Amino acid sequence: MLVQKHFESDRFIPDKEMDACGLFGVMNTKGEKFGGSMAINAIKNMKVRGSGLGGGFAIYGLYPEYKEYYALHIMYQNKNLDAKRRVEAFLKEHFYVVYDEEIPTNPDVALFFPPIVWRYYVAPQKKSEDQAIPDDEYVVTRVMYLNTNVDDAYVFSSGKDVGVFKGVGFPEEIADYFMLDKLYQGYIWTVHSRFPTNTPGWWGGAHPFNILDWTVVHNGEISSYGTNRRYLEMHNYYCTLHTDTEVLAYAVDLLMRRQNLPIEIVSKIFAPPMWDAIEQMNENDKKLFTALRMTYAPLLMNGPFTVIIAHHNEMIGLTDRIRLRPITAGAKGDFVFLSSEEASIRAVCPDLEIAWTPPGGEPVVVRMNSQDHLLSVKKSI
């Protein structure tokens, strides 16, 4: 038995077991809302992909009552009440706060150093000089300000009608802690089970990563992090969460919201075809892909990855171009699934109609009221 303050020496701890994170996403393409049981059971099925050092959920269609307002989820590390006072003073100055509360948690679930987690429904309170700035832009800037300037305070969810719940623990424990299955419903659920290898496992570092209504869950490692991060800083995005996945969330916001590019193009920026594959293309494609590689070279995501990106009405699965991390898609009726492992989809949907695995760099795009996800089937196995 170890008594408090005496721990095993670092030299005698178990060797780090190299494994991989687990991802799962499910969307109802008719927009009908459902509870968390599928997401929770599927990620539980992939327990060996995580290490209990991070788990989290993103839920879309979460706050119908307040869907006009930005729902800010803010964590105060170390239960730092001074940080909370500073944040709230800032919110008072820059937003109209219509309602706020502590996010309800289950006191029976013991987790690793839980922070205070609070949510605020807000609308921008613009000064006259800010009138020309779009709301989304205004919110992003304020979120970046809080994350970089207030110690111990992190805005980890800032979209309308969407919410992220995350922390240190296995994802099913996080679900229990925030009572997700009992309290919430949504039409997209994405979930992540973390196995941190290069960066600390802490509450802010759990996935999903969010900005506005964009969320990203990620398995892999982005070895181009430094390049990506510097490029994003030029566009006013600041990485504060000590982990590589953060750049993906901001890159998606930059390319898809601000520059209005479709995901089919964005996926070719993150995971561009090899130059020798471009050689084989027709003239038009050759021009397009060369231009993309030249223009967006600093947003190429190098290294192995699988991501599930989501925002309202869309869920996207994508791997790196030589698929060094796994993904499987499945569909049944209006439900479309993306997962690290096929068996976890089968476990929550035993009568699945179709399962497929796209080639590296080829996105599976699940859209509201469409069958677009099936476009990737032809190229898949």
The residues carrying an active-site annotation are 21
Least separation in angstroms between residue 165's CB and other proteins is 18
351 binds other proteins (CB under 8 A): no
Q: Residue holding tokens 């995005």?
A: 237
Q: Is 110 in a helix, a strand, or coil?
A: coil
Torsion sign (Cα): 172, 174, 175, 177: positive
- Distance separating alpha carbons of residues 158 and 134, to the nearest angstrom: 15
Closest CA to 364 of 226, 263, 229, 237: 263
**Three-point CA angle 39, 41, 44, nearest 5°:** 105
The answer to whether 49 touches 195, Cβ cutoff 8 Å, is yes
Q: Which is closer to other proteins, CB of 13 or CB of 132?
A: 13
357 binds other proteins (CB under 8 A): yes
Q: Residue holding tokens 């539980």?
A: 44
- Burial (0-12, 13-18, 19+ Cβ within 10 Å), 295: exposed
Residue 11: left (phi > 0), alpha (psi -120 to 50), or beta? alpha
Q: Which is closer to other proteins, CB of 196 or CB of 317?
A: 196
Options 50-58, 90-98, 99-107, 251-259: segment touching other proteins (CB under 8 A): 50-58
355 binds other proteins (CB under 8 A): yes
Least separation in angstroms between residue 269's CB and other proteins is 20
**Three-point CA angle 206, 147, 93, nearest 5°:** 135
70-76, strands of its sheet edge to edge: 95-102, 116-124, 70-76, 153-157
**Size, binding site for other proteins by CB under 8 A:** 41
Least separation in angstroms between residue 28's CB and other proteins is 22
303 binds other proteins (CB under 8 A): no
- Within residues 207-266, the interface with other proteins by CB under 8 A covers none
Least separation in angstroms between residue 279's CB and other proteins is 8
Options 8-16, 208-216, 219-227, 248-256: segment touching other proteins (CB under 8 A): 8-16
List 346, 364, 372, 376, residue binding other proteins (CB under 8 A):
346
List 101, 108, 276, 351, residue binding other proteins (CB under 8 A):
276
78 binds other proteins (CB under 8 A): no
Q: Residue holding tokens 């599928």?
A: 38
Options 120-128, 156-164, 220-228, 355-363: segment touching other proteins (CB under 8 A): 355-363
268 binds other proteins (CB under 8 A): no
Q: Is 74 in a helix, a strand, or coil?
A: strand
CB proximity list for 283: less than 8 A, separation 6 or greater:
none
The answer to whether 112 touches 169, Cβ cutoff 8 Å, is yes
List 360, 368, 374, 377, residue binding other proteins (CB under 8 A):
360
Least separation in angstroms between residue 280's CB and other proteins is 6
- Distance separating alpha carbons of residues 94 and 92, to the nearest angstrom: 6
168 binds other proteins (CB under 8 A): yes
List 245, 313, 344, 376, residue binding other proteins (CB under 8 A):
344
- Within residues 307-336, the interface with other proteins by CB under 8 A covers 322-323, 326, 328
Residue 369: left (phi > 0), alpha (psi -120 to 50), or beta? left
204 binds other proteins (CB under 8 A): no
101 binds other proteins (CB under 8 A): no
Angle, helices 225-234 vs 245-252, to 10°: value is 40
Q: Which is closer to other proteins, CB of 159 or CB of 201?
A: 201
The answer to whether 191 touches 172, Cβ cutoff 8 Å, is no
354 binds other proteins (CB under 8 A): no
Q: Give residues in contact with other proteins (CB under 8 A).
A: 7-8, 10, 13-14, 17, 45-48, 50-53, 112-113, 168, 170, 196, 200-202, 276-277, 280, 322-323, 326, 328, 341-344, 346-347, 355, 357, 359-360, 379, 381
